[in-house]
Structure 1
Amino acid sequence: FSNPTSFNMFTMEPLIGTAIMAIETNLAFSLIDCMFGGDGKPLVQNRDFTLIEQRMLAKFIHEALSNFEKAWENVYPVQIVFRKMESKAEFVHVVNPNDQVIVIVFSISGKQFTGNLYACISYLMLEPIKEKLSSKYLREKDIAYAWRPQLERLLDDTTVVLIAELGRATRTLRDLLEMEVDDMLRLTTGPEDPVTIRIHNIDKFHGMAGVVKGNRAVEITQLLKVQGE
């Protein structure tokens, strides 16, 4: 795995040990972009996750682990508890280098992205219930899980910030330092010009500024097509 990667440690009580759910770097940034209203286009350059991005990933992981726990109900009921998140592989130590592990790969894709989510469980963790795993016949449709409805529900409940830009002005640093109360700034747009509405620095709508019941408001007049959609 490259750095940063979202490594999420969790336990499966009453089983003893710690497992990992990891999100590939590009997929992690694509999911974050979707949560903020973007189309999930991967970043050109990787970087560390910001605090807000870590919180968004944690929200996704809690939802994924909740569904992972439900998938185990037909095999061996467990209580999955999220422990912590790390972004660098050198800080992740849950098994010895020579221990055997079981890796489950989930493929996630969207219009602008595709990537894998991994669940890594130590064999020692599953050894107490290995007879249940080997003797119980589970049909594919019983263990396959439809992620799309859960992802859509997670994104539907995500709060995003909309910014309506009334206009722009360019001034020198000297002008800014000499500004006083009641000084006027001439904007590049007039009162009849449409307002651009952005979500996570992406232009999404045009609208007209006004007042509704004493509050400033913007009426949506046009849906902007994002490049690549």
Structure 2
Amino acid sequence: MADDVLSQSEIDKLLSALSDGTVSAEEVKADEEQKKIKTYDFKRPDKFSKDQIRTLFMLHESFSRLLNTYLSTHLRTLVNVEVASVEQLTYQEFVQSLANPSVISILAVPPLKGNIILEVNTEIAFAFIDRVFGGEGKTGIKPRVLTEIEEVVMKRFIDTAMGHLKEAWSNVVEFRPSLEATESNPQFTQIVPPSDMVVIVTIQMKVGDVEGMMNICIPYLVLEPVMSKLTTTFWVASSVSKDDDPEQVKILQKKIERTEVPFVVQLGSVDITINEFLTLGFGDVLQMDAKVNDNLLCMVGHKPKFYCRPGTSGKKMAVQITKIINEGDEDTDE
């Protein structure tokens, strides 16, 4: 009642009831005191504040974006990865909520103590494996334990996920995640006592037409040394300072400079029939459409970027750039 705003007519009715004796002042006071009582379950103490839960949500939103980019590129299909919820439960409640079998990975995160769990729904796991093997990602496979070959494929997914998780947490703590064990039965993954509080990050995943969940279980024991850093103020300040760090800019520039891209020079093209192609033999000559004085097209990756002239540099074949193709580029320096 203390938080509600009463209208003038409600105030008049209340004063009238008090004056008539219909409602006593003691009843109003007792009712107000009763509403101040807050239920607290000592078996499930709240270890994480709302601000800390919000920070964990933001951290794993970054993780979801990184994982979404990797899966879209690697699987070459429509992928959607986003954080569905972040909540605190007892470890026993988390284990009981998992399906059996599941793809469960137990990770060590030194220098932080203890382990965390990365659990992937079998539907998403089989969709990932099917796409890696060249399928469409549509699985009607009943939940079962992975084979040895399937475990190797999923280990590649877990290794990549650990790298993105490390990057997402880098503003809070620099840990080195490593895979300690894999399990299919949730009952065999006792990393903390059943009554200990854990934070569960539930991530909604969609690979093609297949939807499923991925859960990250982080015990309070693991996060206790960095609890003071799990605030939105600290996380945002760290992100801004890291983005403006000249050392980070230099590291990023070096990585870009070391990136390898294919550089292909097209000498020309010719159209032939299938029958002519089948009858080709050693010593046959094909006349292409390019002339001796024509500029040749240079492809960087799959995009045309330069025109050039063929020649030699010492004893090696070489090309000389004659023109830059700026079409399609944004903010290209001349």
> What is the TM-score when the length of structure 2 is the normalising length?
0.41
State whether structure 2 residue 122 is matched by structure 1 residue 49.
Answer: no
The ranges of structure 1 where at least 4 consecutive aligned residues each deviate by more than 3 angstroms after the TM superposition are 135-139
Displacement of 1:81 in angstroms is: 1.4
Select which of 92, 107, 126 maps to 1:29.
126
Equivalent position of 2:323 in the other structure: none
Select which of 207, 214, 219 maps to 1:122.
219
Equivalent position of 2:159 in the other structure: 62
Select which of 228, 231, 234 maps to 1:134.
231
Distance 1:135 1:45, change over 3 A: closer
> Which has more radius of gyration?
2
RMSD of equivalent CA atoms: 2.2
Question: How many Å separate the matches in 2 of 1:45 and 1:77?
Answer: 39
Q: For residues 30-89 of structure 1, give each alpha carbon's deviation from its aligned partner in whole angstroms, at most 9, with x where no partner exists.
A: 111111111211324222211000111111001001110111111111111111111111
Alignment of structure 1 residues 205-220 onto 2, 5 Å = none
Structure 2 counterpart of 1:78, one-letter code: F
Query: Percent same amino acid at aligned positions?
Result: 31
Equivalent position of 2:110 in the other structure: 13
Alignment of structure 1 residues 1-229 onto 2, 5 Å = 1-134=98-231, 136-139=233-236
The 3-state SS of whatever aligns with 1:22 is strand
Structure 2 counterpart of 1:60, one-letter code: F
Question: How many Å separate the matches in 2 of 1:122 and 1:36?
Answer: 35
Displacement of 1:15 in angstroms is: 0.7
Q: For residues 70-112 of structure 1, give each alpha carbon's deviation from its aligned partner in whole angstroms, at most 9, with x where no partner exists.
A: 1111111111111111111121110111000011122221222
Equivalent position of 1:171 in the other structure: none
The 3-state SS of whatever aligns with 1:79 is coil
Structure 2 counterpart of 1:31, one-letter code: F
Structure having the larger proportion of residues in helix: 2
The 3-state SS of whatever aligns with 1:115 is strand
> What is the TM-score when the length of structure 1 is the normalising length?
0.58
C-alpha contact 1:11 1:17 (8 A) present in aligned 2: yes
Structure 2 counterpart of 1:38, one-letter code: G
Displacement of 1:12 in angstroms is: 1.1
Structure having the larger proportion of residues in strand: 1
Question: How many Å separate the matches in 2 of 1:46 and 1:115?
Answer: 13
Structure 1 counterpart of 2:152, one-letter code: R
Q: For residues 118-137 of structure 1, give each alpha carbon's deviation from its aligned partner in whole angstroms, at most 9, with x where no partner exists.
A: 11110111111101113644
Structure 2 counterpart of 1:116, one-letter code: M
C-alpha contact 1:27 1:42 (8 A) present in aligned 2: no
Structure 1 counterpart of 2:106, one-letter code: M
C-alpha contact 1:34 1:40 (8 A) present in aligned 2: yes
Structure 1's unaligned 5+ residue stretches are 143-209, 214-229
The 3-state SS of whatever aligns with 2:202 is strand
Q: For residues 10-41 of structure 1, give each alpha carbon's deviation from its aligned partner in whole angstroms, at most 9, with x where no partner exists.
A: 11111100110000111111111111111211
